[in-house]
Amino acid sequence: MAEAVAVKARTLTYVAAINEAVRIVLQEQPNSFVAGEDVGGAGGVYGYYQGLQKEFGEDRVFDTPISEEGIIGVGVGAGATGCRPVIDLMFMDFMGECMDEIANQLAKMRYMFGGRATLPVTILTMAGAGASLAAQHSQSLEAWLCHLPGVKIAMACDPYDAKGLIISAARDDNPVFVVLNKMSLAMKGEVPEGAYTIPLGKANIVRPGTNYTIVTWGRMVHEAKAAAEKLKAFGIDAEVIDPRTLQPFDTQTVVQSVKKTHRCMIVHEAVRFGGFGGEIASQIQELAFDYLDAPVARVGAPFSPVPFSPALEKHYVPNADSIVAGVKGQLGL
């Protein structure tokens, strides 16, 4: 399925692209609304709902009490009874407050009702470190969600993807988490005017390459691209693949790349141990083992809470240099 892209493009920031996507959703779906903490008058903690309450009214863009359990509960109930809510979960870390609603209601109700109930709920949430927000506001917890059948997970690396993935999520009849990155809010990129979609479950080959594959998502896509430029000095032409959605995951594109390049590294900002990279590595060795010239490598954060100290946090988050070091270590360079 090809992406449906509007013709005219211009440059927007990541935060402006999010705002534009939500506006389009509210315009084209009269039974949609936005609910969350401070999404109304304040326009959200990061400002990507600015102006929407004034434009669409307090009935469609409204603040909730400080209760993540209640916020997700609103989404579950409204989605099951005919609405198409956009729910704001301010920080991904706060999933711990509402995991029963996510894991036992949102993810399972369509299955438990034999498909007669739909849960067209879009949840926007913010992940990632780098802003010195410490251990409870900086985590990347996508692996929690990937283990839940019934939930889709999209990871937006840039303004173009943020807008397209939000619109795709809102048009889907299943619960979709669109995981945004707080360190990308000021990033600028080309974004078409009007509505367009990005297929959920189709990876994007961000940078074609011939003899190495790097699979990564979110903000790490940009670090991987920078690492690929540095690796050229060592004769490595790295292909960078952004799956865009971790569930559903585009295994075919990754496996085809590995069969071509014979080497692979998976990079994520989340803690390396137990991260989603381990699942991808398993799929590669199951489907492309005979093509591998080296074990699948992984780069991720150390097994530690995210530190508050800017110096420690800088060391904690993977970057282009740590990716290059990991590739060189894998290949014995």
Amino acid 7: pLDDT = 54
- Using the Cα atoms of residue 121, residue 75, residue 47 and residue 267 in order, give the sign of their dihedral: negative
Q: Which two tokens stand for residue 16?
A: 């402006």
Domains and CATH numbers, the chain: 9-192 (3.40.50.970), 204-331 (3.40.50.920)
Q: Output the CA torsion 93→97→100→105 (10° steps).
A: -80
Token pair 């600015």 is found at 50
Q: Output the CA torsion 99→245→46→313 (10° steps).
A: 80
Percent of the chain with pLDDT over 70: 98
Pairing of strands 86-89, 152-155: unpaired
Q: Rounded to the nearest 5°, which phi and psi values hold at 198?
A: -120, 120
Query: Rounded to whole angstroms, how far apart are CA atoms 193 and 303?
Result: 42
Query: Rounded to whole angstroms, how far apart are CA atoms 328 and 213?
Result: 13
Q: What is the mean pLDDT of residues 36-42?
A: 96
pLDDT bracket for residue 333 (50, 70, 90): confident
Query: Rounded to whole angstroms, how far apart are CA atoms 283 and 298?
Result: 14
Q: What is the mean pLDDT of the chain?
A: 96
Query: Rounded to whole angstroms, how far apart are CA atoms 245 and 103?
Result: 19
Query: Rounded to whole angstroms, how far apart are CA atoms 174 and 152?
Result: 7
**pLDDT above 70 for 63:** yes
Dump the DSSP string for 229-248: HHHGGGT--EEEEE-SEEES
Helix (H, G, I), strand (E, B) or coil at 41: coil
Cis-peptide into 305, omega within 30 deg: no
Helix (H, G, I), strand (E, B) or coil at 102: helix
**pLDDT per residue over 246-291, tens digit each?**
999 999 999 999 999 999 999 999 999 999 999 999 999 999 999 9
Write down the catalytic residue from 137, 147, 222, 268.
137
Cα angle value 315/135/19 (rounded, 5°): 95
**pLDDT per residue over 184-228, tens digit each?**
999 999 999 999 999 999 999 999 999 999 999 999 999 999 999
Helices (H), 90-156: 99-100, 109-112, 142-146
**pLDDT above 70 for 23:** yes
Tell me the whole-structure pTM to 2 decimals.
Answer: 0.95
Q: Rounded to the nearest 5°, which phi and psi values hold at 93?
A: -55, -30
Amino acid 4: pLDDT = 54
Amino acid 126: pLDDT = 97
Amino acid 52: pLDDT = 98
3-state DSSP helix/strand/coil % of the chain, to nearest 5: 40, 20, 40
Active site residue 222: no
- Tell me which DSSP letter residue 296 carries: P
pLDDT bracket for residue 332 (50, 70, 90): confident
User: Among 146, 327, 125, which residue's Cα sits nearest to residue 224?
Assistant: 327
Helix (H, G, I), strand (E, B) or coil at 266: strand
